[in-house]
Amino acid sequence: MRDAPGQPLLDVTELRAWYGDSQALHGVTFNVYQGEVVTLLGRNGAGKSTTLKSVMSIVSRRTGSIRHQGTECLALTSDAIARRGIAYCPEERGIYSSLTVEENLLLPPVIAPGGMSVEEIYTLFPNLRERRSGQGTKLSGGEQQMLAIGRILRTGAKLLLLDEPTEGLAPVLVEQIGAVIATLKQRGFTILLVEQNAHFAAGLADRHYVVEDGRVVDMIARADLAASGARLAAYLGV
């Protein structure tokens, strides 16, 4: 955990969300401190991705509270959320087929100083440099994931929401993404990570929240992880 708790960077309380008439979140409560990597773990359909979308205001009908740097953000539109310095990398990656790789990379507007330069991003993901003028969706799955992560690093956003960045990738790529996340943490980014792969998350995160049926049911800190293996397996096992 943190040395000096203070005010969390992101503080979500009793978040409920609906898709049309069906309720997807039934009261999600968690927080993320500056500089932390926090994961949301849980089975398929537990509400992890919906939680990220709700924070980004992509899901329109929500109640509860989402505080960023102490400011209530529930009523903001998603572009206003982004301009507060929260960047989102969707599960389906969301690479635009009508844009080239470089256009994809340069798309999100810079909202604050201190983002990474394009050169730095290319250094982090050398594959993208080679294919910069190709069509975005012609990249392989792994490259698309790198592009999806890479493009939100430029904007100066300090809080990254990553939705299952390792989904469907080969083990060697999963490892690479893991290394990138570790690098980003070192560089001072705060990361909220949705994962199904607890093993992958274990090596990266400071804390894990377990999401089940649209609620946060447990929180496991990194230090307790070894001791809570059975508990976690019970949450996630099929």
Partner 1 sequence: MIEILTNWMDLLPPAPALFGQLLVGLINGSFYAVLSLGLAVIFGLLNIVNFTHGAQYMLGGLAAYALFTYAGIGYWPALLLAPLLVGASGIVMERLFLRHLYRLDHLYGMLLTFGVTLVIEGLVRFQYGSTGSPYPVPASLSGAWDLGFMFMPIYRGWVVVAALVVCLGTWFVIEKTKLGAYLRAATENPKLTRAFGINVPRMVMLTYGFGVALAALAGVMAAPIYQINANMGSEIIIVVFAVVVIGGMGSIKGAIVSGFMLGLAEGMTKVFYPEASTTVVFIIMAIVLLVRPAGLFGAVTLTAAPEAETHATGRALVAPATLRLLVIGALLCGAILPLLVYPVFLMKVLCFAIFACAFNLLMGFSGLLSFGHAAFYGGASYFAAYAMKAWGFDPLGAVLGGGLLAGVLGVAFGHLAIRRQGIYFAMITLALAQMVYFFAVQAEFTGNDEGIQAVPRGVLLGVVNLANPLAMYYFVFACFVASFAAIARIIDSPFGQVLKGIRDNEARAISLGYETGRYKLIAFVLSAAFSGIAGALDALVFQLASLTNVHWTMSGHALLMTILGGVGTLTGPVVGAIIVAGMENYLAQLGAWVAVIHGCVFIVCVMMFRAGIVGEISAWFVRRHAMGSNLYPLQAAEPRIVVSGPAARER
Tell me which residues touch partner 1 (CB under 8 A): 20-21, 56-58, 77-79, 81-83, 87-88, 90, 94, 96-99, 103, 106-109, 111, 152, 155
Residues in CB range of 23: below 8 A, 6 or more apart: 16, 17, 214
Taking alpha carbons only, the member of 220, 221, 215 closest to residue 27 is 215
In 162-201, which positions are buried (b, 16+ CB within 10 angstroms) versus exposed (e)? bbbbbbebeeebbebbbebbeebbeeebbbbbbbbbbebb
Secondary structure E strands in 107-201: 159-163, 190-195
Nearer to partner 1, 7 or 92 (CB): 92
Closer residue to partner 1 (CB): 163 or 206: 163
Considering the complex, what minimum distance in angstroms separates the CB of residue 2 from partner 1?
Answer: 28
- Taking the least distance from each CB to partner 1, the nearer of 16 and 222 is 16
**What is the nearest approach in angstroms of partner 1 to the Cβ of residue 88?**
5
- Both tokens of 153, joined, read 């690093």
Question: Helical H runs in 14-75?
Answer: 48-55
CB nearer partner 1, residue 25 or residue 56: 56
Which of 96, 170 has the CB closer to partner 1?
Answer: 96
Q: Which is nearer to partner 1, 90 or 178 (CB)?
A: 90
The amino acid that residue 190 corresponds to is: T
CB of 191 to partner 1, least distance (A): 17
Closest CA to 150 of 195, 193, 98, 93: 93
Q: Please state the closest distance from residue 210 (CB atom) to partner 1, in A.
A: 26
Dist. CA 203–CA 187, nearest whole Å: 17
Minimum distance between the CB of residue 233 and partner 1, rounded to whole angstroms?
34
Nearest distance, CB of residue 122 and partner 1, angstroms: 18
Query: CA 216 to CA 27: how far, in whole Å?
Result: 8
